[in-house]
Structures are given as structure tokens and as C-alpha cells.
Amino acid sequence: MTRDPAEQKRIALNLLLDAWDAALRQGVAPELLATTAIYTALTDMVEEHGEEAIARLMDDLPDRIRRGDFTLKPPPN
């Protein structure tokens, strides 16, 4: 059964969040867990798309971070 990309993303996110919580419960430091997750994601992306493509993709990362694209904001009241 093939799932649409939005459903696949939802499933992937839920599985990753479960693994993240399990690692925290076992005493893994959040900073180490985050660094390892980024490393794992980048190595998989480079393997799939190549170094140059992923380097280009990461070019705008500092601006996106500064813009708040990765900042969790509280829900509006």
C-alpha cells in the first residue's frame, strides 16, 4: 500500500518523536541526540542526492534559522 507524502511525513515524525522520547528516558542528552539526528539526516541525504545538492540546500539554512523557521512558537490564544 502506497501512502501519500503527507501521510508518510506524519508517520515518520511520530516514529522519530517516539524514538527521541525513548532516548531521553534512557539518559541521552538532548544536545547529543539533536547532533546525532542532524548527522544521520545529512548523511542519508548526501547518499541519496549527492554532496553538492545537499550543500546547496543548506546554503540558506542560516537565514532560515534567523528568520525563525525552526523556532517553536506557542499556539495563539
Residue at 72 is within a domain = no
Structural domain span for residue 33: 29-66
pLDDT 10s per residue in the chain (77 long)?
778 999 999 999 999 999 999 999 999 999 999 999 999 999 999 999 999 999 999 999 999 999 999 898 876 77
Residue at 77 is within a domain = no
Residue at 59 is within a domain = yes
* DSSP of the chain: -PPPHHHHHHHHHHHHHHHHHHHHHTT--HHHHHHHHHHHHHHHHHHHH-HHHHHHHHTTHHHHHHHTTT---PPP-
pTM above 0.95, yes or no: no
Model pLDDT, residue 11: 95
